[in-house]
Amino acid sequence: MSDPLDQLASQLGYRFRKPELLEEAVTHRSVSERNNERLEFLGDSILNFVIADQLFHRQPEDSEGGLSRLRASLVNRETLASIARQLDLGTHLRLGSGERKSGGRRRDSILSDALEGVLGAVYIDGGFTACRDLIVRLYATRLENLPSAAELKDPKTRLQEYLQSARLSLPSYEVLDIAGKAHDQTFRVECRVPGIEQVTIGEAGSRRRAEQRGAEAMLKALNPNEADQDHD
């Protein structure tokens, strides 16, 4: 295994018996037909099971719906990409020239897929227990600080509930601008509430995410005590 991948394996706390599996896990489809897509498929399935198992035992009073929302908050693209950045996974990715030039090492979708690929590689190389232990280790802080049911509601839902409780009109969202190329766009969305002068703006890589950020900003402006950090 090359030195950079040795460093990645060290950060993972796992020594590969077949180093080529880790190399495959960090190889994007823009480089080779032998890439991380199959390992990603496997890693995604194992991740969902392990997190579900952890939540089932850690949250004995939660309903199926509550457990599902918690799991979704832990295995979504943003969370996976955040963990990948903590591992500096982007530095180790093998990308085609087009993906490198367009900022692929920083893109949430590529980082999250690669992390799932790494999990799949650990499972193939060392079995379920090794993969489970790695997942629990990577998620340790998040599992110890699980969000409340209220925090799991997305900002648009929380803003709507706040406005309804205050007998105010519901918000509207308008796309002001879409910048960038098709594979790396940034949406700029305006959030307005009829009868309220305050206008907020949200920017993100998708319209949905930009609307959420606009709603979060509006909620903070109208009632800071109700606002919390963005959960998507």
pLDDT in tens, 132-190: 999 999 999 999 999 887 778 889 988 998 999 999 999 999 999 999 887 778 999 99
- Hey, where are the domains in the chain? 3-148, 153-222
pLDDT in tens, 189-207: 999 999 999 999 999 989 9
Does the annotation flag 62 for ligand binding? no
Distance CA 190, CA 228 (A): 20
CB 28 within 8 A of CB 104: yes
116 is in an annotated binding site: yes
**CATH 1.10.1520.10 is held by the domain 3-148:** yes
Q: Which residue(s) pair with 203 in the sheet?
A: 188
Strand ranges (DSSP E) for 139-221?
Answer: 172-179, 186-192, 199-204
Please give the positions annotated as active site. 44, 116
Paired with 179 in beta bridges are 186
d(CA 213, CA 159): 11
Mean pLDDT of 34-50: 97
Q: Are 147 and 70 in contact (CB under 8 A)?
A: yes
Domains 3-148 and 153-222 agree in fold: no
d(CA 175, CA 192): 12
User: 33: buried, middle or exposed (CB in 10 Å: 19+, 13-18, 0-12)?
Assistant: exposed
* DSSP notation for 142-164: HHHTPPPHHHHS-HHHHHHHHHH
What number of residues does the chain have?
A: 232
228 is in an annotated binding site: no
Give 153-222's CATH code, choosing from 3.30.160.20, 2.40.50.320, 3.40.50.1260, 3.30.70.20.
3.30.160.20
| CA nearest neighbour of 201 among 182, 177, 181, 224 | 177
pTM summary value: 0.73
The token pair at 30 is 């823009």
Query: 77-86 and 108-126 helices cross at what angle (nearest 10)?
Result: 70
List pLDDT tens digits, range 69-122: 899 999 999 899 999 999 999 999 999 998 988 888 999 999 999 999 999 999
